[in-house]
Structure 1
Amino acid sequence: MAGVSVAAEWQLLTNRYYRKPELYQMQWKHVDLTRHKIACSPFGGPIAVIRDDAKIVQLYSESALRTLRIFTSSGRLLSETPWKNPGGRLIGLSWTDDLTLACITQDGTVYSYNIHAELIETFSLGKDCFENSVVECVFWGNGVVCVNEAFEIFAVPDFRTKSVVKLADSGLEEMPHCMAVIEPQYRRSGDVEVLLAVGDHVLSVEEDGVQQLAEGVGPLQKMVVSRNGGYVASFTHDGRLLVMTADFADVIIEYTCESALPPDQLAWCGLDSVLLYWDDMLLMVGPYGDPVRYIYDEPIILIPECDGVRILSNTSMEFLHRVADSTVSIFQIGSTLPAALLYDALDHFDRRSAKADENLRLIRSSLPEAVEACVDAAGYEFDISQQRTLLRAASYGQAFSSQFKRDLIQEMCKTLRVLNAVRHVEIGIPLSIQQYKLLTPSVLINRLINAHNHLLALRISEYLGMSQEVVLMHWTCTKMTASSSIPDASLLDILLNKLKICKGISYAAVAAHADKIGRRKLAAMLVEHEPHSSKQIPLLLSIGEEDTALIKATECGDTDLIYLVLFHIWRKRVPLDFFGSIQARPLARDLFITYARCYKHEFLKDFFLSTGQIQDVAFLLWKESWELSKNPMASKGSPLHNPRIKMIEKAQNLFTETKEHMFESKAAEEHAKLLR
Structure 2
Amino acid sequence: MAAVSVAAEWELLYNRYYRKPELYSMRWGRMDLSRHRVACAPFGGPIAAIRDDSKIVQLLAESARRKLLIFSSSGQPLASSLWDRSGGRLVGMAWADDLSLLCVVQDGSVYRFDIRAELIGQFSMGSECFEQGIIDCVFWGNGMVCITENYQIFCVPDLKNPKPCKLADPGLDEYPLCVAVIEPQYTMSGNVEVLLGVGDHVLVVDEDGVQQLGVGVGPLQKMAVSQNGKYLATFTHDGRLLVIPTDFSRIIFEFTCESALPPEQLAWCGMDSVLLYWDELLLMVGPSGDPVRYVYDEPLLLIPECDGVRILSNSSLEFLHRVPDSTVSIFQIGSTSPAALLYDALDHFDRRSAKADENLRLIRSSLPEAVEACIDAAGHEFDVSRQRTLLRAASYGRAFCSQFPRERFQEMCKILRVLNAVRNYEIGIPLSIQQYKVLTAPVLIGRLINANHHLVALRFLSTLTLIHEFQGHELTFLFMNLFQEVVIMHWACAKITTSAPIQDVPLLESLLDKLKLCKGISYAAIAAHADNCGRRKLAALLVDHEPRASKQVPLLLSIGEEDTALVKATESGDTDLVYLVVFHIWQKRPPLDFFGTINARPLARDLFVKYVRCYRHEFLKDFFLSTGLTSRCCISFCWKESWDIEKNPMASKGTPLHGPRIKLIEKAQNLFAETKEHLFESKAAEEHAKLLRIQHEIEVSTKQAIFMDSSISDTIRTCIVLGNHRAAMKVRTEFKVSEKRWYWLKAFALSTIRDWDALEKFSKEKRPPGGYKPFVEACIDADEKAEALKYIPKLTEPRERSEAYARIGMAKEAADAASQAKDSELFGRLKLTLAQNAAATSIFDTLRDRLSFQGVY
> Structure 1 stretch 97-106 or stretch 236-245: which is displaced more?
97-106
Letter in 1 for 2:423: R
Equivalent in the alignment of 2:94: 94
TM superposition shift of 1:143: 2.5
Equivalent in 687, 690, 703 of residue 670 of structure 1: 690
2:326 is the alignment partner of 1:310 = no
Letter in 2 for 1:648: I
Q: Radius of gyration: which is bigger?
A: 2
Per-residue Cα deviation, 1:8-47 (whole angstroms, up to 9, x for no partner): 2222223322111111122233222222222111111122
Distance in 1 between the 2:83 and 2:407 partners? 52
Equivalent in the alignment of 1:545: 561
Say which SS state the counterpart of residue 395 (structure 1) adopts. Answer: helix
Per-residue Cα deviation, 1:460-517 (whole angstroms, up to 9, x for no partner): 3344364332222222222322333433333323322332343332111111111222
Pick closer, same or farther for the CA change 1:643–1:416 going to 2, 3 Å: farther
Pick closer, same or farther for the CA change 1:59–1:452 going to 2, 3 Å: farther
Equivalent in 644, 665, 672 of residue 655 of structure 1: 672
- The percent identity for this pair of structures is 70
Distance in 1 between the 2:522 and 2:227 partners? 40
2:538 is the alignment partner of 1:518 = no
TM superposition shift of 1:593: 4.9
Equivalent in the alignment of 1:74: 74
| C-alpha RMSD of matched pairs (Å) | 3.0
2:510 is the alignment partner of 1:494 = yes
Normalized per residue, the structure richer in helix is 2
Equivalent in the alignment of 2:782: none
Pick closer, same or farther for the CA change 1:611–1:360 going to 2, 3 Å: farther
Q: Is the 8 A contact 2:57 2:64 kept in 1?
A: no
Distance in 1 between the 2:496 and 2:570 partners? 31
Say which SS state the counterpart of residue 287 (structure 1) adopts. Answer: coil
TM superposition shift of 1:419: 0.9
2:146 is the alignment partner of 1:130 = no
2:602 is the alignment partner of 1:582 = no
TM superposition shift of 1:631: 12
Per-residue Cα deviation, 1:119-148 (whole angstroms, up to 9, x for no partner): 333433333333333222222223322222
Q: Is the 8 A contact 1:645 1:675 kept in 2?
A: no
Equivalent in the alignment of 2:432: 432
Equivalent in the alignment of 1:250: 250
Pick closer, same or farther for the CA change 1:342–1:633 going to 2, 3 Å: farther
Q: Is the 8 A contact 1:419 1:431 kept in 2?
A: yes
Equivalent in the alignment of 1:18: 18
Per-residue Cα deviation, 1:550-596 (whole angstroms, up to 9, x for no partner): 21222233344334333433454455444422333333344445556
TM-score scaled by length of structure 1: 0.92
Equivalent in the alignment of 2:232: 232
Equivalent in the alignment of 1:363: 363
2:405 is the alignment partner of 1:393 = no
TM superposition shift of 1:295: 2.4
Distance in 2 between the 1:337 and 1:206 partners? 51
Equivalent in 620, 628, 631 of residue 614 of structure 1: 631
> Structure 1 stretch 154-163 or stretch 205-214: which is displaced more?
154-163
Distance in 2 between the 1:587 and 1:106 partners? 61
Pick closer, same or farther for the CA change 1:666–1:194 going to 2, 3 Å: closer
> Structure 1 stretch 368-377 or stretch 108-117: which is displaced more?
108-117
Equivalent in 550, 574, 584 of residue 558 of structure 1: 574
Distance in 2 between the 1:639 and 1:222 partners? 99
Say which SS state the counterpart of residue 386 (structure 2) adopts. Answer: helix
Say which SS state the counterpart of residue 130 (structure 2) adopts. Answer: helix
Pick closer, same or farther for the CA change 1:649–1:573 going to 2, 3 Å: farther
Distance in 2 between the 1:426 and 1:650 partners? 84
2:45 is the alignment partner of 1:45 = yes
Equivalent in the alignment of 1:473: 489
Equivalent in the alignment of 2:30: 30
> Structure 1 stretch 284-293 or stretch 234-243: which is displaced more?
284-293
Letter in 1 for 2:508: L
Say which SS state the counterpart of residue 202 (structure 1) adopts. Answer: strand
TM superposition shift of 1:264: 1.3
Distance in 2 between the 1:636 and 1:106 partners? 80
Distance in 2 between the 1:33 and 1:151 partners? 29
Letter in 2 for 1:492: L
Pick closer, same or farther for the CA change 1:553–1:256 going to 2, 3 Å: same
Q: Is the 8 A contact 1:22 1:316 kept in 2?
A: yes
Distance in 2 between the 1:423 and 1:60 partners? 36
Distance in 2 between the 1:300 and 1:459 partners? 35
Distance in 2 between the 1:543 and 1:109 partners? 35
Q: Is the 8 A contact 1:156 1:163 kept in 2?
A: yes
Equivalent in the alignment of 2:276: 276
Letter in 2 for 1:213: L
Letter in 2 for 1:323: V
Equivalent in the alignment of 1:62: 62
Q: Is the 8 A contact 1:194 1:204 kept in 2?
A: yes
Which runs of structure 2 are paired with 1:248-397 in the superposition (5 Å)?
Answer: 248-397=248-397
TM-score scaled by length of structure 2: 0.73
Provide the aligned length of Structure 1 versus Structure 2.
676
2:408 is the alignment partner of 1:403 = no
Say which SS state the counterpart of residue 120 (structure 1) adopts. Answer: strand
Distance in 2 between the 1:641 and 1:257 partners? 110
Per-residue Cα deviation, 1:76-111 (whole angstroms, up to 9, x for no partner): 222233333633332222222222222223333323
Say which SS state the counterpart of residue 252 (structure 2) adopts. Answer: strand
Distance in 1 between the 2:79 and 2:2 partners? 42
Which runs of structure 2 are paired with 1:162-181 in the superposition (5 Å)?
Answer: 162-181=162-181
Distance in 1 between the 2:503 and 2:175 partners? 60
Q: Is the 8 A contact 1:90 1:103 kept in 2?
A: yes
Say which SS state the counterpart of residue 431 (structure 1) adopts. Answer: coil
TM superposition shift of 1:600: 5.7
Distance in 2 between the 1:306 and 1:198 partners? 29
Pick closer, same or farther for the CA change 1:658–1:103 going to 2, 3 Å: closer
TM superposition shift of 1:655: 3.3
Higher RCO (CA < 8 A, seq sep 6+):
1
Pick closer, same or farther for the CA change 1:538–1:4 going to 2, 3 Å: same
Normalized per residue, the structure richer in strand is 1
Say which SS state the counterpart of residue 564 (structure 1) adopts. Answer: helix
Q: Is the 8 A contact 1:648 1:671 kept in 2?
A: no
Say which SS state the counterpart of residue 284 (structure 1) adopts. Answer: strand
Letter in 2 for 1:446: G
TM superposition shift of 1:534: 2.1
Q: Is the 8 A contact 1:656 1:665 kept in 2?
A: no
Say which SS state the counterpart of residue 78 (structure 1) adopts. Answer: strand
Pick closer, same or farther for the CA change 1:69–1:567 going to 2, 3 Å: closer
Which runs of structure 2 are paired with 1:110-121 in the superposition (5 Å)?
Answer: 110-121=110-121
Distance in 2 between the 1:294 and 1:490 partners? 57
Say which SS state the counterpart of residue 468 (structure 1) adopts. Answer: helix
Distance in 2 between the 1:329 and 1:620 partners? 97
Pick closer, same or farther for the CA change 1:179–1:546 going to 2, 3 Å: same
Pick closer, same or farther for the CA change 1:228–1:630 going to 2, 3 Å: same
Which runs of structure 2 are paired with 1:212-227 in the superposition (5 Å)?
Answer: 212-227=212-227
Say which SS state the counterpart of residue 464 (structure 1) adopts. Answer: helix
Distance in 1 between the 2:335 and 2:648 partners? 103
Pick closer, same or farther for the CA change 1:575–1:86 going to 2, 3 Å: closer
Where does the alignment leave 5 or more consecutive residues of structure 1 unmatched?
Answer: none
Letter in 1 for 2:578: I
Equivalent in the alignment of 1:447: 447
Per-residue Cα deviation, 1:616-669 (whole angstroms, up to 9, x for no partner): 864896699799999999877499977864653342343366587575564344
> Structure 1 stretch 536-545 or stretch 307-316: which is displaced more?
536-545
> Structure 1 stretch 445-454 or stretch 304-313: which is displaced more?
445-454
Letter in 2 for 1:582: I
Per-residue Cα deviation, 1:258-296 (whole angstroms, up to 9, x for no partner): 222211111011122111112232222222333222222
